[in-house]
Amino acid sequence: MVKAVVSPFEALGLSPALLRALDAMGYERPTEIQERVIPLLLADRDVIGQAQTGTGKTAAFGIPIVERSDPERAEVQALVLAPTRELAVQITQELRALAQFRPLAIATIYGGSSMRAQLDALARGAQVVVGTPGRILDHLGRGTLDLSRVRLLVLDEADRMLDMGFMPDVERILRRLPRDRQTALFSATVPLIIKRLALRYMRAPEHVAVRPEEPTVETVEQVYYEVAERDKLDGLCYVLDTEQPQQAIIFCHMQVTVDRVHRALVRRGYQAEALHGNLRQSQRERILHDFRTGKLPLLVATNVAARGLDIPAVSHVINYDIPEDAETYVHRIGRTARAGRPGKAITFVAEWDGEAWAAIRKLAGEAIREQRLPLYG
Ligand code: AMP
């Protein structure tokens, strides 16, 4: 007799619609935070999830939200609060992907974009709302958002909401929600103020902490090339052609370099986009969306892209220009080798980079191997 093979996600008791979506998304097995948090949330428990970006925390609450929201009921049943619109948009994308085989309406509510579109989305009857605290309060004040039937509240990146001064707004929203709801709070750190908040607004939460997957020499392969400034473009093309990265971020020091490298790559037939501080919000969102969903293989970026932005795991990080300091180097290579997957960090060291390079070597140690461009024989 043929025995049915139970996938690791099936073992969590998920519905066929979700299993199909996970399959389509290429998620084969739950990450640690997912394995530990999903059963608790499905069993109606409150949870404090101590986990950073890159651990799969979004699906850890996204899967229970999609599983437990009823498409037949035209009322907001789950609310996710996030500190920034960028994160709100990313959460929405993940929820939509998880709900691709379930007819759930998911609305995103954040400041700085058209109120009209958000009102329309709410009027059509969203079952799930993702938003930033300020704009959610706006809608509550106008009476355009009814949260009286919310059964599950998620506070994502609670420590960042605290840092950004959103806690009074968050508390105002909390007081407008039904008391007998379920609450999940995710935060990289759990300072005392957040513990107090949990004590006041949560029902005996279970604390689940997962270690951040620090990039280490075992999972990130680090190499450098000595390359003269004027040979960098050829060097980059050589690296791209030999490495064939599934997805890479190419970091440059200045915006003009980002534009120049981007144009040169496109001219040479590579599929690449440029990301820097001078783009319109809509352009940034489109580029990030294409990159996150894997449609875009190469992203050329200034350092801003490394800070604050949540860019998912990539197979390669290329420092076209040397990072300005050793901490930036370590932070950048943290963009690769997420969720236990291997990654590679490649750094170009040019003729004037001696000092910065010495500092990086001191911090990163001898793990960075030298490779040579064929150009130099
Ligand atoms: P997050 O920590 O939620 O920002 O997720 C980090 C990255 O891991 C995202 O790009 C997700 O798409 C991806 N991811 C989340 N869960 C899984 C999983 N079970 N298998 C593979 N990739 C995952």
pLDDT in tens, 175-186: 999 999 999 999
Mutate which of 31, 247, 315 for ligand 1 pocket (most atoms within 8 A of beta carbon): 31
Q: 56 CB less than 6 Å from ligand 1? A: yes
Q: 62 CB less than 6 Å from ligand 1? A: no
pLDDT score for 141: 94
pLDDT score for 311: 59
pLDDT of 21-80, one tens digit each? 998 988 888 989 999 999 999 999 999 999 888 789 999 999 999 999 999 999 999 999
Cβ proximity of 154 and 79 under 8 Å:
yes
Residue 310 pLDDT > 60, yes or no? no
**For 17, how many CA atoms within 13 A lie in the half-sphere containing its CB?**
16
Sequence-distant (6+) residues with CB within 8 A of 170 are 81, 133, 155, 161, 197
* Residue 260: C-alpha distances to residues 232, 238, 284 (Å): 12, 17, 18
Q: Would you say the pTM of this structure is higher than 0.85?
A: no
Expressed in angstroms and rounded, the spacing between residue 336 Cα and the centre of ligand 1 is: 13
Of 212, 208, 210, 193, residue with least CA distance to 45: 208
**N-terminal to C-terminal alpha carbon distance within the chain:** 62
- Which residue, by CA, sits nearest to atom 21 of ligand 1? 27
pLDDT of 338-357, one tens digit each? 555 678 899 999 998 988 89
Does residue 66 or residue 308 have the better pLDDT?
66
Instruction: Report the residue count for the chain.
Output: 377
* Ligand 1 atom with the shortest distance to the CA of 28: 20
Of 12, 152, 139, residue with least CA distance to 68: 152
pLDDT score for 304: 64
pLDDT score for 217: 47
Expressed in angstroms and rounded, the spacing between residue 316 Cα and the centre of ligand 1 is: 17
Residue 260 pLDDT > 70, yes or no? yes
Domains of the chain from N-terminus onward: 10-209 (3.40.50.300), 220-376 (3.40.50.300)
- The pLDDT of 293-314, averaged and rounded, is 75
Cβ proximity of 154 and 69 under 8 Å:
no
What are the structure tokens assigned to 53, written together?
């970006």
Band the pLDDT of 19: cuts 50, 70, 90: very high
Q: 127 CB less than 6 Å from ligand 1? A: no
Band the pLDDT of 325: cuts 50, 70, 90: confident
Expressed in angstroms and rounded, the spacing between residue 54 Cα and the centre of ligand 1 is: 6
Q: 312 CB less than 6 Å from ligand 1? A: yes
Expressed in angstroms and rounded, the spacing between residue 35 Cα and the centre of ligand 1 is: 13
- Which residue, by CA, sits nearest to atom 10 of ligand 1? 312
Q: 52 CB less than 6 Å from ligand 1? A: no
Q: Which 3-state string (H, E, C) describes 82-127? A: CCCHHHHHHHHHHHHHHCCCCCCCEEEECCCCCHHHHHHHHHCCCC
Cβ proximity of 97 and 65 under 8 Å:
no
pLDDT score for 341: 63
- The pLDDT of 96-120, averaged and rounded, is 89
